[in-house]
C-alpha cells in the first residue's frame, strides 16, 4: 500500500479484510479472466502485517479483530537528550518516549568508582545551574556526593561530600570554619586568664589581637571599704584604673552618732555617717529645743520626745524632724493648758 493508505484508521482495514474474505460473485464487477475465482475467497486464511516503524517486525492476522498495532517488540531507537536511546518496546504511533533514562553510567569520580543511572547525573548537573548537551558533557560537570571525613587545620574533622573536598584541595574554596571548642585555650593578653573559645575564634584572636573581647571571668574584688564581691575581670580593671567608681551595696546595722538609734545603712551611707562631726544627744529618745546638736547624720525615722525649751511640753515626732526643730525652732506651742482668769478668778483653757 502507499504510505497514505497505510495511515487510514483500523476500522477501514477491518472492513476491507472482511470484504476480501468473502468469495467473488457473478454480480461483482469481475473480469472474464477472473471467472475461475468465482465462489472462492480472494485472500488467504491470514493477512500479513508489519510495523510501520520497523518493517522487519511482522505478524499474521487471521481475524479482523487481530488487525491492530502493539505486536512489535523492537526497542525504540529514538535518541534522548542524554544521547541514549529510548529503548522502550515499540510504541508507534505514540511519541511519548521514556522520561527517565535508566542507563547505567560510570561515575567520573576516580576516588569513588561506581555506576549511576544516567538521570541521576543529568538531574544533578541541571539543578546546579548548568544545562548539559548530553551525558558526556554532564559527566564533566558532575559533583561526587560520596561522604568523606575532612580534617581541618585545627585537627577537628567534619563530614562533607567528595566534590567539596576536591574544591578545597584545588584552592577553589576555603576550608570550613570550625565551630567546635578549641583544644587549646586562648590566653587573654590583658589579664592572662584562659578564655574558652572556638577554633575559629582562636585563630581570629591570634591574627587580630584587637578583636579580643573583654574578659568576663568572675574574680574577687575588695574595694577600700573592705567588702569583697564577685565581679567581672574587666570591671575590676576599670575600678583599679579609676575609670569608673565602685558603689558598694552591702548593708550593715550601725548606731547613729547623733541620736544613738540603730539603723541599717548601705556601705556608702556608713562612710558618710562616720564623717559626722556634730554633738551627740546625751539622752536616748529625747531631743530638746534650743540645744545645738549639729547637722544631720542620717534620716532617722524612730519616734522620740521633743521637749520645748520655754514650756517644757513634750511632743512625739520622728527623730530627724525633732533634731531639725531643735536647730531651727519649732514655732509657738499649741498645747492647751488650764489657766485662772485674773479678772474673775475662774479656770479657763
pLDDT at 3 over 50: no
**What is the reported pLDDT for 26?**
47
Percentage of residues in the chain having pLDDT higher than 70 = 87
C-alpha 93: how far from its chain's center? 54
Question: Is the preceding omega at residue 93 within 30 degrees of 0, hence cis?
Answer: yes
Report residue 327's pLDDT band, with 50, 70 and 90 as the boundaries.
confident
The model's pLDDT over 15-34, given as tens digits with 9 standing for 90+, comes to 666 666 565 554 445 554 55
**What is the reported pLDDT for 339?**
73
pLDDT at 41 over 60: no
The model's pLDDT over 191-217, given as tens digits with 9 standing for 90+, comes to 999 999 999 999 999 999 999 989 999
- All three cell numbers of 252: 550593715
Scored b (16 or more CB within 10 A) or e, 195-219 reads: bebbbbbbbbbeeeeeebeebeeeb
Closest CA to 309 of 286, 284, 322, 326: 326
**What is the reported pLDDT for 20?**
61
Contact between residue 285 and residue 305 where contact means Cβ atoms under 8 Å apart: yes
The model's pLDDT over 103-116, given as tens digits with 9 standing for 90+, comes to 999 999 999 999 99
The model's pLDDT over 254-270, given as tens digits with 9 standing for 90+, comes to 999 999 999 999 998 99
Q: Which whole number is the average pLDDT over 93-100?
A: 89
Q: Which whole number is the average pLDDT over 10-19?
A: 64
Q: Which whole number is the average pLDDT over 231-252?
A: 91
Q: Is 1 exposed, middle or buried (0-12, 13-18, 19+ CB in 10 A)?
A: exposed
Contact between residue 346 and residue 340 where contact means Cβ atoms under 8 Å apart: yes
**What is the reported pLDDT for 33?**
52
3-class SS of residue 240:
helix
Separation of alpha carbons 42 and 53, rounded Å:
28
Q: Which whole number is the average pLDDT over 228-252?
A: 91
- Name the average pLDDT for the chain: 86
CA distances to 77, 107, 117, 145, 240 from 102, in Å: 15, 14, 5, 19, 76
pLDDT at 70 over 80: yes
Separation of alpha carbons 89 and 275, rounded Å:
109
The model's pLDDT over 296-323, given as tens digits with 9 standing for 90+, comes to 999 999 999 999 988 889 999 999 999 9
pLDDT at 40 over 80: no
pLDDT at 96 over 60: yes
Amino acid at each position: 500500500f502507499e504510505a497514505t493508505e497505510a495511515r487510514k484508521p483500523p476500522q477501514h482495514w477491518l472492513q476491507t479484510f472482511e470484504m476480501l474474505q468473502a468469495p467473488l460473485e457473478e454480480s461483482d464487477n469481475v473480469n472474464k479472466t477472473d471467472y475461475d475465482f468465482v465462489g472462492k475467497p480472494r485472500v488467504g486464511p491470514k493477512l500479513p502485517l508489519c510495523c510501520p516503524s520497523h518493517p522487519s517486525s511482522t505478524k499474521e492476522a487471521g481475524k479482523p479483530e487481530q488487525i491492530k498495532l502493539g505486536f512489535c517488540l523492537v526497542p525504540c531507537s529514538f535518541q534522548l537528550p542524554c544521547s541514549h536511546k529510548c529503548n522502550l518496546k515499540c510504541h508507534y504511533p505514540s511519541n511519548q518516549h521514556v522520561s527517565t533514562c535508566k542507563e547505567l553510567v560510570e561515575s567520573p569520580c576516580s576516588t569513588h568508582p561506581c555506576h549511576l543511572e544516567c538521570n541521576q547525573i543529568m538531574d544533578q548537573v541541571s539543578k546546579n545551574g548548568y544545562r548539559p548537551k548530553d551525558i558526556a558533557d554532564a559527566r564533566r560537570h558532575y559533583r561526587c556526593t560520596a561522604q568523606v571525613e575532612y580534617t581541618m587545620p585545627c585537627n577537628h574533622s567534619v563530614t562533607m561530600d567528595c566534590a567539596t573536598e576536591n574544591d578545597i584541595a584545588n584552592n577553589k574554596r576555603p576550608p570550613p570554619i570550625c565551630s567546635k571548642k578549641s583544644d587549646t585555650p586562648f590566653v587573654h593578653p590583658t589579664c592572662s586568664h584562659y578564655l574558652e573559645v572556638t577554633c575559629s575564634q582562636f585563630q581570629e584572636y591570634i591574627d587580630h589581637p584587637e578583636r579580643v573581647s573583654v574578659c568576663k571571668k568572675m574574680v574577687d574584688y575588695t574595694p577600700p571599704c573592705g567588702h569583697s564581691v564577685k565581679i567581672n575581670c574587666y570591671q575590676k580593671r576599670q575600678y583599679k584604673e579609676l575609670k569608673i567608681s565602685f558603689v558598694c551595696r552591702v548593708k550593715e546595722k550601725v548606731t547613729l552618732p547623733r541620736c544613738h538609734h540603730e539603723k541599717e545603712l548601705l556601705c556608702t551611707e556608713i562612710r558618710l555617717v562616720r564623717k559626722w562631726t556634730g554633738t551627740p544627744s546625751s539622752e536616748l529618745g529625747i531631743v530638746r529645743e534650743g540645744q545645738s546638736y549639729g547637722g544631720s547624720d542620717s534620716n532617722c525615722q524612730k519616734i522620740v520626745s521633743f521637749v520645748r525649751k520655754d514650756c517644757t511640753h513634750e511632743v512625739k515626732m520622728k527623730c530627724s524632724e525633732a533634731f531639725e526643730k531643735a536647730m531651727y525652732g519649732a514655732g509657738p506651742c499649741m498645747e492647751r493648758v488650764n489657766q485662772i482668769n485674773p479678772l474673775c478668778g475662774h479656770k479657763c483653757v
